[in-house]
Amino acid sequence: MEKKLAEYKCDTNEAISLKLVRFPEDVDDDGTTFHPEYSHQLFGDDEVVFGYKGLQIQLFYTAGNLSTLFKVKYSSKVSEVFDCVEPDDVEGKIREIVPAGFTCNTDDFISLLEKDANFKPFGTLLHTYTVHSEEAGELTYQIHKADITCPGFQEYHKRLQTFLMWFIETASFIDADDDRWDFFLVFEKYNKDGETLYATVGYMTVYNYYVYPDKTRPRVSQMLILPPFQGEGHGAQLLEAVHRFYCSFPKVQDITAEDPSENYVKLRDYVLVKLCQGLPSFAADKLHLGFSADMVKEAQDKLKINKKHARRVYEILRLRATDMSDEEKAREYRLEVKKRLFGPYRKNQRELAKMRKCLRPEELVSHMGQMDTQTQHEELEKSYQVVVEDYRRIIERLASQA
């Protein structure tokens, strides 16, 4: 019995099919399908649904306005074979995140697709750029800034944010009614039957926090480039455009990010180095003198970059300007980076000093045993190697874009 019931388990990441549809023939073209990276927020940590064989959950979106087709298909349901065994409510789970207004009929979806010709990007145009494609030649992209006052934007955003659940591990929906949110959207311009249409590529949400007494601190909350467009440089274009936008406001203190992922930190490093490399305080002949107050001030004043991020920029640019085959120069660089990395370990030492005053000997021993000096040095060296490897990739990417 247990073996037979196990046949009715399905991997939800495989069962869910996503599409961004431009042409009617895309609906039946498996080549345009992509799948979630995550589905645990809806279907639990195992990312498994019970009760179906051959389960297919179709979530297809028109490329521009993201009008939605939602269908659930399966070859067999457990309740058809076993009495008193109920399948999971797949449809109910998906309805929790997909806003009302979707269709379950393919013909109706094709009609909605025809209306996509009338879709125009929301908000104001900030930046236009091109990307060369082997198949299609030069493709044009636009970055727009929108807010909730743009007609139709709130409904569009509700459809757009459903993608977060499938591609950001700890995603949550935002309260878009708050007027302190800024939205930055990336669109591709493309031709269809002689007309210019727009396809949604990705987006970023930024919340404007108040900083006493009269400043704001924009904080990046969510950022997603949709899978068909990943690896083409759109994330860097978007982040750079957002930075340049906020740099034009004297009241902006600096630009930060909420709980950034490793990939976001690497992307930010690349963009900030690109922006800072032309500043006088970061000139090659200044780098070997060390991280300076001039660097902090210029990065803050001209590019709204805080001290912590400016320090990373300095380390990357100094690595680029350092001949690492020269032992003395390499040693100087290594010590400079390790000095920053040692901060958490130094804090650990201070905490141990405080503990000595208030803990009993046996409690103190258990804390002191957490990391001896030898282990600290080994961990520090490991951290240094990881950091330098990341820095080298950024330097290579900058060289390839030059």
pLDDT in tens, 160-194: 999 999 999 999 999 988 999 999 999 999 999 89
How far apart are the C-alpha atoms of 170 and 38, rounded to whole Å? 10
Q: How many CB atoms lie within 10 A of CB 74?
A: 19
Residue 315 CA: distances (Å) to CA of 111, 271, 325: 54, 14, 17
| Joined tokens for residue 331 | 């040693």
The pLDDT of residue 362: 58
The pLDDT of residue 185: 98
Phi, psi of 173 (to 5 degrees): -80, 150
> Taking the domains of the chain in order of start, what are their residue ranges?
1-117, 120-259, 263-401
Which residues does the chain have with pLDDT short of 50? 368
Contacting residues for 189 by C-beta, under 8 A, at least 6 apart:
139, 140, 141, 142, 196, 197, 198
- CATH fold of 263-401: Arc Repressor Mutant, subunit A (1.10.10)
The per-residue pLDDT for range 311-351, each reduced to its tens digit, is: 999 999 999 999 999 999 999 999 999 999 887 666 666 66
Q: What is the pTM of this model?
A: 0.91
How far apart are the C-alpha atoms of 158 and 394, rounded to whole Å? 34
Burial of 259-279, coded b for 16+ CB within 10 Å and e otherwise, reads eeeeeeebbbbbbbbbbbeeb
- CATH fold of 120-259: Aminopeptidase (3.40.630)
- CATH fold of 1-117: Histone Acetyltransferase; domain 1 (3.90.360)
C-beta of residue 275 within 8 angstroms of C-beta of residue 238: no
Active site residues per annotation: 258
| Joined tokens for residue 88 | 């999971």
The per-residue pLDDT for range 88-119, each reduced to its tens digit, is: 999 999 999 999 999 999 999 999 999 999 99
